[in-house]
Each structure stands twice: as C-alpha cells, then as structure tokens.
Chain A
Amino acid sequence: MMELAKFRDLVFARGRQAGFTDMEIFHQSSTNLSVTVYKGTVDKYNLADSGGYGFRGIFRDRVGYAYTEILDHDSVEMLVTEALENAQVIESEDLPIIFSGSDSYPEFDGYNPDLAQVTPEEKIELAKTMEAKAYALDSRVMVVNSCLVASGEDYVQIENNKGLNLSHRGNGAYCYLSVVVREGDDTKTFGRFATARDFADLDANGLAREAVAEATGLLGAATVDSGDYPVILRWEAATTLLKTFSGLFSAENVQENISLLKGKLGQQIATPAITIVDDPLLPQGLSSSPFDAEGVASRSKVVVDQGKLSTYLHNLKTAAKDGVESTGNAAKGSYKSNVVVAPTNMYIKPGSASLDDMAASLERGIIVVDLQGAHSGANPVSGDFSLGAFGYLVEKGKIVRPVNQITIAGNFISMLLDVEKVGNDLNFGLPTGSMIGSPSLLIKKLAVAGK
C-alpha cells in the first residue's frame, strides 16, 4: 500500500492525462470494536479497521465516479479508466460541481480523546452488567438475545484539485440490548439502544430497565377492532415515520418530481405546533460534521417553521438548479457512493405535553410504541403508509392493555396537518449516518386495522 498523498498525486496526474478537468478524492476510514455478551460470556468480539477512496472527476461537463479500497498502482489506473467510462455514458443535463470551498467553517469537535482510552475490558464489563441486570429484573426474561457494547472512530478527508482540503475526525460509543420475555405461550421482545460520546453516559442499567419494562408490558397483547382511532405515536414510531418520509424534503426529489412537497415552499404543510430542524452540528450527533460531503460549510436550518415549509434540503447541484445556496445537505453513504441529498440530524422540536398528558386527553385511543416494515409498507413518493404496529390501548385517559397484530394506515403529509399535541420527550432513532428524532405526537385520527 502506498501513502494517500502519493496515491492522490498519481490519480490526479493520470486523470488530467485522461481528460478530467476537476477531480476529487473522498477518503473515509473507520475503526470499530464491538463486544456481544451472551449468558455471561463474550459471545462475539468484533474488530474493524477499514477504509476506502472514492474518486470523482469531471470530463466534458459530466461526472464519473469510481472507488477502491486498496492503494496500489492497479487502482490508480482502475479509478481513472472506470470513472472516465462512467462519465462518458452520463446523460444528465445538470452541471456537476467540484467545490473550491466555503469562506469559513464552523468549529465542531466530534472527538472525545477519553473515549479512545476506554479498554475492551471496560466494554465487556458494561455489557455483562447490562445483561445481568436484565435477567435480574424479571423472572419472565427468558433470554437476552442481544447485548452489545461498541465504540468506533471515523475519519473523513476531502481533497480536490480546486484547492479544497478538509478533514474531520469523530468518535462515539453505543450499546444495544434486546430481551425476550415469556409468560405461558406468550413471547414478547423489545430492544433499546443508547449512543454517547462519553462512555460514562451509557446507562446500562437504565437501558435494561426500559427494555424489560416494555417487553413485559406487552405480554398479553391482543388486537383491537378495526376503525379510526386517535393515535399517540410514541417518539420511536414518530421517528420511524419522519425517517421514512424525510426524502420528501430533498430538493433532488422535488426537482425529479417525486416529492409531494413540490411547489409548497412557504405554505402551511403541518399544524403550527410542528417545527422541523436539520442541524449538522448537533452536539450529540455521531455523524455531526463542520462540512458536508461536497465540502460545503455546515449550518443548522429550520425546514418547517411552525408548520410552514421554509426550505428544501440542497446540495450544490440542486441549489444551482433552483438558484439558491446549498444548505449543506450533500451526503455520501460512503466512499463508494455518489453525492446525493440527505438530512443530517433532523428532528421535530419538542413541545410541552408529557406522554401521560396526551394519554389523559383520550377517551379511547392507541399509543403506538413502534412501527414495523417501513421499508416496504410505506410509499415515500405518495406519503401513504400502512404498517404493522404494537403499543397500548387507552380508555378514559388510562392505559388499559397492550395491543399488537394491528396496522396503522394514513398519509404522512395529511397526518402532519392532524397533529394535535407535540410531546416534550424528543429522542433520536438508531443512527444510520443521519440521526432522525422526534417527540411523541398525538394524531387526531389514523386508520387502525385489527379484527
């Protein structure tokens, strides 16, 4: 393997020879250690150390991409010839942009040196504590089917021949616990995770308590009669929906005419209780960064302001097309990916209602804890969803029993206009590059299918 600087020089020289004018290398590397404990022993211990190099170059106003995971002479040739071949078949009329840089960049420190000092033994200890706690809490815990503690570091560097050279390093830790509980023939399961940049913030006991309480709370769940119900989407379910439909805010989708928010800028698309923020500098965000995947400076922005759609999310290409500034939402899933538009850390701002307040206001309704199958049961283009759900039945303001084997159906856009209360319990879903979050939401009515 050769050094990245030498590799970059060779690629740019070979690229220029091949006819590329603008060229960029997007380098990403990561290390990760995860431990999984099963019945008191370390069941899985995984170490990762990997990275890769994405090349893109502009050839006659067309952009071609290629990537490699190995820095050798073969890869120099492969990157340039493949990217050239890819550029030559591109027919997109959008002018690609390789960026020379923003005027200034915000400060963001996503790296906690103390976290790097946490030993594997400490992680194993935490996982064992979490597992033991879960078993100790309730005799109905049949098995802790997943108990994991992990931490990792990421490094991103963007370097191009327009003078841009940016890098960012971040780290984070997370843990996940899932329990299977059984009573008679009835089996229920629930999982909980937590992320942190300070190892001491991972609350293993709290996680175990929540997972066990929820799983046992769901024992004895049964379906309900089909019909329209007021529904409290607990933060997990609300987050699942926001994540599923976050593509509606992408200018790329708007320009391709596959977003229902096309032509809705400045209009009321949600009740005034709803404000949606996209904040790439969210302190606890594991992928928070001072710049986006094109090297544009990050900034926080309000996407929906008290129900009014105030902006779409843009990268350089979509912004140029609309004659606006990029919002710093260029994203690459990895060095293998093309530049697209994606939310960074997007969340619905919390309101004042507690979950109990919301439940107390219901004569008869359903609290949906989480939704299943969002990748298939939701149509990100039409906004329609019909998803498996579980949770609790509320009568006269009180939870009366757990509910499962139901589906909740509606349309995301019309649902935003039907939000009656916004909870005070903002939380974020499992990070997958972006972190999406929401408080619990009380929806006037949704179609529930049961029996």
Chain B
Amino acid sequence: MAALDAGGDFAELFVEDKHNSHLNMISGRVETGTSGRDFGAGIRIFGGYNSVYAYTNHTDRDNLVKLAREAGAALAGAKGGKVQDLQVHSKANAHPISIYPESKDKRFRVGLMRQANETAMGFDPLIEQVRIRFIDENQKVLIANTEGVFAQDNRVRTRMSIEAIAARGSEKQSGFYGPGAHMGLEFYDKIDIREYAREAARSAVTMINAEPCPSGQFPVIIDNEFGGVIFHEACGHSLEATSVAKKTSVFADKLGERIASELVTAYDDGTIANAWGSANIDDEGTPTQRTLLIDKGILKGYMVDKLNGRRMDMPSTGSGRRQSYKFAPTSRMSNTFIDGGASTPQEIIENTEYGIYARYMGGGSVNPATGDFNFAVKEGYIVKDGKIQEPVRGATLIGRGSEILKKIDMVGNNLALGQGMCGSASGSIPANVGQPMIRVSEITVGGRKGK
C-alpha cells in the first residue's frame, strides 16, 4: 500500500456509503424532511504510537493513493511495516433486518409520527406542543488493513424521538422519549410507539406541576433504562482506552483493584442482537464483543481500540468506533450497563427515609481526567419515609465518578437499556446506556430551592 511507502507500520482504509433520512413533525405537521447520501473514505496509518488520519470524498483511486502518500509522509522515519494478504472475514450477521428503510415511502413514517403525536397531544389539555423526529439510516462500511483484515458491515438503524411540551401561562416543561434500535422499520411493529408518546406527555405534565428541587447532599435513587447515563458519564468514559492509554483517566493502572461497591457488575456489550449501540464489527474491522468492565466492584477491563491498545499493550475489544469517515476511530462505548442485582424497586424505595428519586435522567457530561460529572434529572421526586412524594424540577446531580461508584448501596433487578447519542473525540455515535434501579447513598443535588 502507498501509505507505507514513506513511513508507518500499519495502514487502514475505511470506506463508507450511508443513506440518511430525517423527518420533523411539530404539533402534527411535518415541518421538514431531508434525505441524503454520505460517501467518503478515510486512510489511517500508524507509526508506533503515532497516527495519521486523512479523509476525503474524492474517492477515485489516484486521489486515494495521493492522499495515502501525503499522510504516510507525515510519519517519515517511522519503521516500515509489512502488508499481509487480505482475508475476507465473514462473520454471521447477528443483527438481521427485515424491513429496509428504503423499501417504505415517507408516508409510512409520517403515519407512525402521527400516531405518536395524537397520543401525546390527547394525553392532557396542558400539552401545548409535540415535536417528533424520525430518523433512519443505512450505513455500509468496508474496512481493509495491512494486517490482512477485509471486513464489511451494514448497519441499519432507526429512532423516533418524541418531545412533549406542557405549558401553563408562560411556563413550559418538556418530557422526552426516544426509542431506537439497530433494526429496520420492523422496529415499530415490535414496540407500541403510543406508549412512549403517552409517557413523554405524562412526564411533561408531571413536571409542570413540580416545585423546585431542594439542594444539598442526599441519597438518590436512579431508575432503570436511561438512568444508566450516570454510569456512562461517571465511569464509562473513564474506562475508554482513549483516556486510559495516556493515564489521564482516574481508572488507569487500576485493573484488579476495587473501584466500585461489590454490588456493581458492569459490561460493555456490542453484540446484543439489534440493540441501538450494536454492530457486527467495530469501525476498525474487529468483531464486537461482550467486555466485562467491573466484576462485583473489581475493575476487570477497559474498552480498547487498536491504537490505544498499542500503548496499553492490550488487544482491541472491538471498541474502535467513529461517527463517519470524517473521524479517526477511537475507543468508545456500545451498549454499556450495570448488570441486574437482587433488590426489587419497591424494596429500594421502601428502604429510603429521605432522598431524591430520579425517574428519568436527562443527559450529562464528565471530565475524564478528574472524573467530575454532572447530569440533569428530567423527572424527579422527593422520597420520604419509604414513599415517593411530590415531583421536583430543575435538579442537577454532580459528583466524582470514582466516589459515586463506591456509594452505590442498592442495585435493583429490573435491568433495561435506553438509547442515546454519545459525543466524544470520534464524533457522535449511537450508544445504549442501561442499569436496573440503583441507589447511591449520597450525591450533591443542585436545585433552585435552598436547603
């Protein structure tokens, strides 16, 4: 390959051809619709721990060879590498698709959006507006490298997000639900989108009636499914080789050590059939796998990509992901969750004298170097004497991942996954978060109401 002529010991070609479709409906009317085709290629070359990445959508052979030489020249002086013969890797498709997006016209999608809209609008007179977004995509990737990998994957995904806005006077609160899967349009036969619409509307109406959240340090119960965003932010990012390799993560060099309460077992699993964050192979051509991250509180593994794996002297865990050919891949999460425990949700609530119950979480962020995280509670309640009391709004949870993990003192038995888009160094990618209901003995809760 031209890429290794000047320098470098490994080269990789990533080619992507992707079809996207987006529709937006506001209060029952389709306001915008877009579709399109992304097409381009990325060339990556390693020289030891260093890497060069070049991408283009001028993908004719001459331009790619020119780009490869230019990119390789940046590693001039690095020791050369051998080129292995390409071996076609064909892994059985673990994520079968039955209704490809292109087989249905836009009216089919609009029909589903209308169902969701009518359900949410009809839920309560306080619902003033419903915003629905329908996306589907069909991404074909081809990955070839000088180690002989020649792999292809076809990722079909769809998601419908429903935002219901409740209003009273000038005050507005929103409720959100956004189910999605690595699936074709058969996804909507498997779920009843109206249930999600109703839930988004219920949440918005609940929150318009909520008082400001008190602030201070409390026990916090975080419900299952998207509640797993706490683990994703507070811990998951710090277990990505992206921050572990350069030892900027609080969890670097901690394999085999206790980093969490013994109730915590956690996985990253890119193999779950048709799950939002799944794929057959990662964006470096490595088959995805189920990686044990934490076993009963003991750190067992990281999410590793090829380049950072070199620095860490660890094999890839099939975690090299990227938004598109416009990004060099790096280690990312796929479907990442705290595994189910022994307590029933009812037991957890009943055992809490005073605290906050976060039924739905919003998003959040973390600084992987310090572990400081923050995230928003979208629907929260006061818990008093073992009972869920009045709803509270505007709560933000802050803390340090390494401390929170040790303070998880109850883990429920109702594991579920929720869908999100995770933004980081290699772009915005679909990722599932997940957990059963958990209780953290103490988190700093920020709200607008004083103590």
Contacts and interface: CB of A to CB of B under 8 A. Distances in A.
Given A50-B326, A188-B370, A388 B450 contact: no
Interface residues of A, number: 77
Nearest to A189: B369
Q: Is the interface of B mostly helix, strand, loop or mixed?
A: strand
Q: Is the interface of A mostly helix, strand, loop or mixed?
A: strand
A305 B306 CA distance: 54
B201 interface: no
A49 B53 CA distance: 11
Contact of A187 (B20, B250, B395): B250
B36 A38 contact: no
A338 B32 contact: yes
A180 B365 CA distance: 18
A376 B375 CA distance: 7
B372 A381 contact: no
B26 interface: yes
Nearest to A188: B370
A260 B106 CA distance: 34
Most B CB atoms within 10 A — which of A87, A90, A404? Answer: A90
Contacts of A373: 363-365, 374-376, 396
Contacts of A89: 23, 30, 33, 106-107, 110
Contacts of B365: 372-373, 375-376
Most A CB atoms within 10 A — which of B26, B36, B449? Answer: B36
Interface stretch (A221-229, A275-283, A434-442): A221-229
Contacts of A379: 172-174
B215 A447 contact: yes
Size band of the interface chain B makes with A: 35 or more
B189 to A, nearest CB: 21
A145 B39 CA distance: 32
B446 interface: yes
A88 B60 CA distance: 35
Contacts of A228: 450
Interface string A406-435: 111110000000000000000000000000
B447 A386 contact: yes
B172 A47 contact: no
Interface in B17-71: 20-21, 23, 26, 28-40, 49-60, 67, 70-71
Interface in B81-132: 105-107, 110, 128-129
B205 to A, nearest CB: 15
The 10 closest A-B pairs by CB, nearest first: A407-B446, A449-B215, A388-B374, A86-B33, A376-B363, A449-B446, A67-B36, A47-B54, A373-B374, A386-B396
Interface of B: 20-21, 23, 26, 28-40, 49-60, 67, 70-71, 74-75, 105-107, 110, 128-129, 165, 170-174, 213, 215-217, 243, 246-248, 250, 326, 328, 362-365, 367, 369-370, 372-376, 393-396, 398-400, 444-451
Given A89-B106, A449-B396, 5 more contacts: A1-B58, A69-B40, A336-B34, A379-B174, A387-B446
Interface of A: 1, 38, 41-52, 54, 64-70, 75, 78, 82-83, 85-93, 120, 143, 145, 180, 187-189, 223, 226-228, 256-258, 260, 336-338, 372-373, 375-377, 379, 381-382, 384, 386-388, 390, 404-410, 447, 449-451
26 contacts: A44-B328, A46-B52, A48-B54, A49-B54, A69-B38, A70-B37, A86-B33, A89-B23, A89-B110, A180-B248, A188-B370, A189-B367, A228-B450, A336-B20, A373-B365, A373-B396, A375-B363, A377-B374, A377-B396, A382-B173, A386-B447, A388-B372, A408-B446, A449-B215, A449-B444, A451-B444
